[in-house]
Amino acid sequence: MRFEPVSRLSLGLGEGPVWDERRNLVFLCDIPTGRLLAIRLGDGQVDEWVLGTNVCSLGLCESGRLVVSLAREIILFDPETGERETLAHLDGELETNRLNDGKVGPDGAFWVGTTDQRPERQPICSLYRIGADGKFAVKKSGLLISNGLAWSPDGASMYHSDSGGQWIERHDFDAATGEIGEGVRIATPGEADGRPDGGATDADGFYWSAGVSAGCLNRYSPEGVVAGKYPLPVPTPTMPCFCGPDLKTLLVTSHRYLSQERLEAYPLSGAVLVASSPVAGVPVARMKGF
């Protein structure tokens, strides 16, 4: 695959891309600048909204609104009007923790985890499910950096990673109830392999993981076998997203948290990249009740 920038956009920490098939665009965020962005693939046109705090991840709602995780809060946001409504607050975690990777699952709920932002991270973070009642339900705990959420094409498996613990797990998933089974650890990629960041699944049931430490995308079988490794023109990819009408355009976000020397060596760091994919992706779900 040959990856090219979709626009001149350069982000500090690009994350959370989601394809909106109704609007024919990709929503994503730049965490440190508090920006929610929309990119049109055809011409690279960018719209943005500044939300005033970290914008960490997002998903689509049935109504057309977005469910957005801010640093310590889940909101519903209408990109047509700019109106926002608070859905839930994160309580019970250290103030140094913030929300991180999140997606809407096949159960119609928003799944989102947390990250410990201190230099010496501890396994004190969690993965949550937020349903139409707006309540945080703990689904996993003891995490360093919750990341990599994605679901299999049939919705029967959930993938989840810990960027700090450097593992990827697969869980049985009940789309009717949102219950998950005990996780099976399918991969433990090291720094040279590509520490796992954001993830996505394709129509063949394989899991794509952004190797944020190795400048690549890793494609894993459900059993954790590396079926493909795709180099990128940036050293720090953060999340893949299948988009376009046929879901065969692969978009990847990245970050610029690098030394000046490395930024000069990799001038596309922070770019949003796209390439034609050899396989289609899995359509994303929308949050029910909103």
Task: Copy the structure tokens of residue 109.
Answer: 């709920």
Residue 22 known to bind ligand: no
Task: Indicate the SS3 state at residue 254.
Answer: strand
C-alpha span between 36 and 57 (Å, rounded): 9
C-alpha span between 19 and 244 (Å, rounded): 7
C-alpha span between 102 and 67 (Å, rounded): 10
Tell me the CA end-to-end span of the chain in Å, nearest whole number.
37
Provide the β-strand partners of residue 86: 75
CB 94 within 8 A of CB 85: no
CB 168 within 8 A of CB 119: no
Residue 107 known to bind ligand: no
Task: Copy the structure tokens of residue 230.
Answer: 């795709």
Residue 191 known to bind ligand: no
Amino acid at 41: L
Known catalytic residue: 172? Answer: no
Task: Copy the structure tokens of residue 94.
Answer: 């250290």
C-alpha span between 165 and 143 (Å, rounded): 8
Residue 15 known to bind ligand: yes
C-alpha span between 62 and 77 (Å, rounded): 12
Residue 98 known to bind ligand: yes
Angle at 60 between CA 199 and CA 34, to 5 degrees: 75
> Of the listed 107, 193, 197, 202, which one is catalytic?
197
Catalytic sites, residue numbers:
197
- In the annotated binding site for a divalent metal cation, the residues are 15, 147, 197
- In the annotated binding site for substrate, the residues are 98, 100
